[in-house]
Amino acid sequence: MGKVSIHFFQPIANHLGHPEPGGFKLESDIDVSAPLRNVIASVSIKDLNILNKLQSEKIVVMVAINGLMDHSGLDAKVKDGDKVSIFPPIGGGLRYSVSSRLHRDFV
């Protein structure tokens, strides 16, 4: 069994009950490659189902895996050892950034 690291940045982290600057990180076990949506659905924080909260509040997110933007969003496939960053739209509110590379400090 492997692990996936997921970092929720602000202000998304605040919607999930974590107002701390920089957001929060969590790890989830993963058996095989799976959609990020399924991995997040298996994690609860303080009885809060993260995926349900994101969907019910219609929170739009951007996803980077190992420092690269993944335009599949929550449907992106993740595997053992992946580092996932989840953050709000940037660049004027566009759903996807033109840049396909994030600075390594964000991962």
Q: Is residue 89 part of a domain?
A: yes
The Cα-based distances of 103 to 42, 58, 82, 100 in angstroms read: 28, 27, 16, 10
Host domain of residue 56: 2-98
Q: Is residue 104 part of a domain?
A: no
Q: What is the pTM of this model?
A: 0.79
**Concatenated DSSP letters of 52-84:** HHHHHTT---EEEETTEE-TTGGG-EE-TT-EE
Q: How many domains does the chain have?
A: 1
Q: Is residue 106 part of a domain?
A: no
pLDDT at residue number 41: 87
Q: Is residue 26 part of a domain?
A: yes
Q: Is residue 25 part of a domain?
A: yes
CATH code, domain with 14: 3.10.20.30
Dist CA 50 CA 89 (whole Å) = 18
pLDDT tens readout for residues 5-23: 999 999 999 988 899 999 9
Structure token digits, residue 93: 């509110």
